[in-house]
């Protein structure tokens, strides 16, 4: 394979088409290298995000032959026929070429209260065993590429960004919920504004996660169970009513507070 043909989506605000570019192949080349080649040699206006080129930052998310993935982690020799179509993530508002507006993810994230360790147990340094933290570390591997958000049908087909925080934020909440030191009760937020019930466990998110986080099995399902236990378990409900069961092993409920942080977007111009 000496050269490949890249079909790149070019256009703005969702309007555009595929343009073909011939790119010479070097050993170990990834799709991002091919995009950089086009920028440097053919068309400097081709818009694309990237930072680390090492699958660590989650900037270069796109759809490669229709499959959501990282441009810097997708080798061109995966496609021996040498035809590669590259387009933007389709769940988010399109900006230009391969760039989309992912600011919604940051706005939602700002609604999730950070860790609240129990002051009664003293401040850091904490005494924790590796086994205590491993579960949480899995969720903290997330590089915020938003590929899982891109593929989740609740957001992609049904566009329920108003009702469901999406798998990425489920990971974030799971990382807090399962942190041995956290004292907040996050079930109410999960049930209400985060909309954990909208997930119907298709596992598409898990399949695309470049960090191999078991989003559905390890984050969402256990949290769904916790929410169900507290909201819909009739026995627990009755016991709670008559005061046998106290629903407060943890302290304060989280969520529904206006976030303190504002994520600004540029005013949209006419041209």
Measured at the CA of 248, the angle between CA 244 and CA 253, to 5 degrees, comes to 145
Closer CB to another protein, residue 23 or residue 224?
23
Region binding ligand SF4 by CB under 6 A among candidate stretches 16-24, 85-93, 198-206, 228-236: 198-206
Q: Is 31 among the residues that bind ligand SF4 (CB under 6 A)?
A: no
Among 52, 201, 238, 263, which residue sits at the site for ligand SF4 (rule: CB under 6 A)? 201
- What is the CB-side half-sphere exposure of residue 95 using CA atoms within 13 A? 16
Q: Is 111 among the residues that bind ligand SF4 (CB under 6 A)?
A: no
Closer CB to another protein, residue 92 or residue 164?
92
- Residue 223 CB burial class (10 angstroms; 0-12, 13-18, ≥19): buried
Region binding ligand SF4 by CB under 6 A among candidate stretches 12-20, 43-51, 193-201, 257-265: 193-201
Instruction: Tell me how far the alpha carbon of residue 83 is from its chain's centroid.
Output: 28
Pick one of ligand SF4, ligand FES, another protein, none as the site partner of residue 11 (Cβ within 5 to 8 A by kind): none
Residues 6+ apart with CB under 8 A from 139: 171, 172, 174, 175, 178, 213, 218, 219
Of 167, 213, 218, give the one whose Cα is nearest residue 190.
167
Give contact residues for ligand SF4 (rule: CB under 6 A): 58, 142-148, 151-152, 154, 167-168, 171, 199-205, 208-211, 213, 215-216, 220
């Amino acid at each position: 394979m000496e050269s490949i043909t890249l079909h790149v989506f070019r256009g703005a605000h969702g309007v555009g088409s595929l343009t073909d570019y011939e790119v010479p192949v070097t050993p170990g080349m990834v799709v991002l290298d091919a995009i950089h080649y086009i920028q440097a040699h053919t068309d400097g206006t081709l818009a694309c995000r990237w930072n680390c080129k090492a699958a660590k930052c989650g900037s270069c998310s796109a759809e490669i032959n229709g499959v959501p993935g990282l441009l810097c982690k997708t080798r061109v020799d995966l496609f021996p026929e040498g035809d590669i179509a590259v387009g933007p993530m389709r769940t988010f508002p399109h900006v230009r070429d391969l760039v989309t507006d992912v600011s919604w993810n940051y706005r939602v994230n700002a609604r999730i209260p950070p860790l609240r360790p129990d002051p009664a147990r003293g401040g850091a340094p904490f005494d924790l065993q590796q086994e205590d933290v491993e579960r949480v570390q899995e969720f903290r591997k997330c590089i915020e590429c938003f590929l899982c958000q891109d593929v989740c049908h609740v957001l992609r087909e049904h566009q329920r960004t108003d009702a469901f925080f999406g798998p990425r934020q489920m990971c974030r909440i799971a990382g807090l919920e399962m942190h041995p030191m956290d004292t907040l009760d996050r079930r109410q937020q999960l049930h209400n504004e985060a909309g954990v019930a909208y997930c119907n466990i298709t596992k598409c998110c898990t399949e695309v996660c470049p960090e191999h986080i078991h989003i559905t099995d390890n984050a969402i399902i256990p949290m769904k169970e916790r929410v169900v236990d507290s909201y819909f378990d009739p026995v627990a409900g009755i016991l709670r009513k008559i005061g046998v069961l106290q629903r407060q092993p943890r302290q304060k409920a989280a969520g529904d507070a206006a976030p303190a942080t504002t994520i600004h977007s540029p005013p949209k111009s006419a041209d």
